[in-house]
Structure 1
Amino acid sequence: MLATADPVMLFTAIRAAQEDLGRRVDRRGAQVTPEEPVVIDLQRFTANLKTAWKAGEVRPTHKRSYRRTKPYPKRPTMLGPYEAQIWSWLEAEPTLSAAVVLQRLMNVDQTRFTNKSLRTCRWQ
Structure 2
Amino acid sequence: MRQRIAALHATLDPVHLLSEIRSAQRRLVAISDPPVLSEPAANPAPTLEEFLSGLRTAWQSGEVRPTAQPKLTAKRSRRRPDPFATASEQLWSWFEAEPWRTAREFLDRLQMEKPGVYPDARLRTLQRRLKIWRQEAACQMVFGILSIADGAE
Using the size of structure 2 for normalisation, the TM-score is: 0.28
Name the structure, 1 or 2, with higher relative contact order (CA <8 Å, separation 6+): 1
Q: Which has the larger helix fraction? A: 2
